[in-house]
């Protein structure tokens, strides 16, 4: 496919075993001038060692404030077909499951209106339709609506929430991540489509502490499935793992962070002091046939996770150690609304929830959203004597 001699640098990225995005752009370029100009502008970036996209610009579809990212080439005379090359963020279905019929419908719409290039998927989880001129945005959205695809979030709104595969295929799932995600997405359509917050707000849902959607690192609200009772043990299967060559003492027991397990090598018997287990998943990950999460399942709610901009990266903090997660998920939704209200009232522009909690203090946050302080929230109590009392408490 490397007939286009105008791209000698990018052509080198068609070699090698890993799938080539250059090949993909070239495939689209056979049908679309915009994809061809994208390829040529990218080659220019490879020569210049700098990007060639201008700063945003507000574009969108009727009724929404988000979901479309404006993008303009800074070399429009040379690459006119990407002078306007906007992105549509399309809300993916829970767990990224598709039928081929649905995907083909999506391809038909995108071939009609845009560059034919996509990300499956973007970092937030949306289907990214990469590159359409301004006048194609509304017709494209209308056709997407026709086949049942709505737009996702962008700007200072609730960004498209995402979740792991959950009960769709994973025996570790302690909550119905797929259903919770769909329910939350439908509940907060207004917050998703009409930016009105101090900054972006993200919700990510993982079914167990393995956290396959990285909720703890990149969401203001991290929902992580867990359990409260005992790990379910199938002793026969434990023995089978041992017989098949697993060194249960070295690989499982010695790596347990709480030291709550014992292995009797002679009797091939594993015992667990469940009261001391912190449910890290290591033993279950190693022996999924023998060990399973308990039956009293729910989620730990953590808040505040984010990437560096503006005041540094944060990992989410535990604020509710255990919450039952059953439809219609009222307790969770009410908590989200209450926290948004506090953030909206107190947050400065471009201040994420975690940064606001850092600025005003966890004490102020817990009081505002009416959550009781519990030791599960912290790694250690404070080591300084600079703390407050409410005058009401000093009587």
Partner 1 sequence: MAGKTDFGPPFYKDLLPPVILKNYGQWKYHERVKPGVLKHVAESGDELYTIRVGSGRLVSTDWIRDVCGIADQFCGGHLRFTSRHNLEFLVSDKNQVEPLIAHLNKEGYAVGGTGHAISNPVHTQGWIHCHTPATDASGIVKAVMDDLYEYFADSKLPAYCRISLACCLNMCGAVHCSDIAILGIHRKPPHVNHDTVRAKCEIPNVIAACPTGAIRPDPKEKSLTVNEDKCMYCGNCYTMCPGMPLADPIGDGVSIWVGGKISSARTPPKFSRLVIPFLPNNPPRWPEVTSAVRNIVEIWATHAHKHERMGEWIDRIGWERFFDLTGIPFTVQLIDDFTLASETFRSTPTFKW
Residue 288 · residue 232 · CB < 8 Å: no
Shortest gap between Cβ of 308 and partner 1 (angstroms)? 5
Shortest gap between Cβ of 339 and partner 1 (angstroms)? 21
Which one, of 143, 156, 61, lies nearest residue 106 by Cα? Answer: 143
| Backbone φ and ψ of 63, nearest 5° | 95, -15
Residue 241 · residue 196 · CB < 8 Å: no
Residue 91 · residue 185 · CB < 8 Å: yes
Residue 69 · residue 113 · CB < 8 Å: no
Q: Which is nearer to partner 1, 346 or 369 (CB)?
A: 346
Q: Which contacts of 363-368 are long-range, i.e. CB under 8 A and separated by 24 or more positions?
A: 363/388, 365/319, 366/319, 368/342
Shortest gap between Cβ of 303 and partner 1 (angstroms)? 14
Residue 292 · residue 284 · CB < 8 Å: yes
Residue 321 CA to residue 331 CA, distance in Å, equals 14
Residue 292's SS3 state is strand
**Greatest CA span in the chain, whole angstroms?**
84
Shortest gap between Cβ of 65 and partner 1 (angstroms)? 11
Residue 245 region by backbone torsions, left for phi larger than 0, else alpha for psi between -120 and 50, else beta: left
Name beta bridge partners: 302: 222, 318
Q: Which is nearer to partner 1, 171 or 273 (CB)?
A: 171
Shortest gap between Cβ of 233 and partner 1 (angstroms)? 13
Q: Which is nearer to partner 1, 168 or 321 (CB)?
A: 168
Which one, of 46, 34, 253, 252, lies nearest residue 132 by Cα? Answer: 34
Q: Which is nearer to partner 1, 150 or 331 (CB)?
A: 150
Shortest gap between Cβ of 395 and partner 1 (angstroms)? 37
Q: What is the DSSP letter of 154?
A: -
Q: Which is nearer to partner 1, 322 or 369 (CB)?
A: 322
Q: Which two tokens stand for residue 283?
A: 């033993």
Q: Which is nearer to partner 1, 8 or 367 (CB)?
A: 8
Quickly list DSSP for 38-78: HHHHHHHHHHHTS--B--------TT-SSSEE--BBS-TTT
Q: What is the DSSP letter of 86?
A: E
Q: Which is nearer to partner 1, 3 or 49 (CB)?
A: 49
Shortest gap between Cβ of 331 and partner 1 (angstroms)? 21
Residue 63 region by backbone torsions, left for phi larger than 0, else alpha for psi between -120 and 50, else beta: left
Q: Which two tokens stand for residue 347?
A: 């947050």
Shortest gap between Cβ of 391 and partner 1 (angstroms)? 31
Shortest gap between Cβ of 394 and partner 1 (angstroms)? 32
Shortest gap between Cβ of 367 and partner 1 (angstroms)? 24
């Amino acid at each position: 496919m490397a007939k286009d001699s105008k791209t000698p640098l990018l052509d080198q990225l068609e070699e090698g075993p890993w799938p080539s995005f250059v090949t993909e752009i070239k495939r689209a370029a056979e049908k679309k001038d915009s994809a061809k100009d994208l390829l040529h502008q990218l080659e220019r970036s490879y020569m210049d060692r700098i990007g060639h996209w201008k700063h945003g610009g507000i574009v969108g579809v009727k009724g929404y404030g988000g979901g479309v990212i404006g993008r303009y080439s800074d070399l429009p005379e040379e690459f006119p077909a990407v002078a306007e090359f906007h992105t549509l963020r399309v809300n993916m279905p829970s767990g990224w499951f598709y039928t081929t019929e649905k995907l083909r419908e999506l391809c038909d719409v995108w071939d009609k209106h845009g560059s034919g290039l996509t990300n499956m998927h973007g970092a937030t989880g949306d289907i990214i339709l990469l590159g359409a001129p301004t006048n194609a945005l509304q017709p494209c959205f209308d056709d997407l609506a026709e086949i049942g695809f709505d737009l996702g979030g962008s700007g200072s709104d609730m960004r498209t929430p995402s979740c792991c595969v959950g009960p769709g295929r994973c025996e570790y799932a302690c909550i119905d991540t797929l259903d919770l995600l769909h329910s939350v997405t439908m509940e907060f359509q207004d917050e998703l489509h009409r930016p009105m917050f101090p900054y972006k707000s993200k919700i990510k849902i993982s079914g167990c502490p393995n956290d396959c959607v990285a909720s703890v690192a990149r969401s203001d609200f991290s929902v992580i499935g867990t359990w409260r009772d005992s790990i379910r043990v199938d002793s026969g299967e434990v023995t089978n793992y041992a017989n098949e060559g697993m060194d249960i003492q070295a690989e499982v027991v010695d790596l347990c962070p709480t030291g709550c397990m014992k292995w009797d090598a002679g009797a091939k018997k594993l015992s667990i002091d469940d009261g001391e287990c912190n449910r890290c998943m290591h033993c279950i990950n190693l022996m999924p046939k023998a060990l399973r999460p308990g039956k009293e399942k729910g989620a730990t709610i953590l808040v505040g996770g984010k990437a560096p901009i503006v005041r540094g990266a944060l990992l989410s903090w535990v604020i509710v150690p255990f919450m039952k997660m059953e439809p219609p998920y009222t307790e969770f939704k009410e908590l989200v609304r209450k926290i948004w209200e506090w953030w909206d009232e107190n947050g400065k522009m471009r201040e994420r929830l975690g940064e606001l909690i850092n600025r005003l203090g966890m004490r102020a946050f817990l009081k505002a959203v009416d959550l009781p302080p519990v030791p599960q929230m912290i790694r250690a109590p404070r080591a300084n004597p600079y703390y407050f009392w409410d005058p009401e408490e000093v009587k």
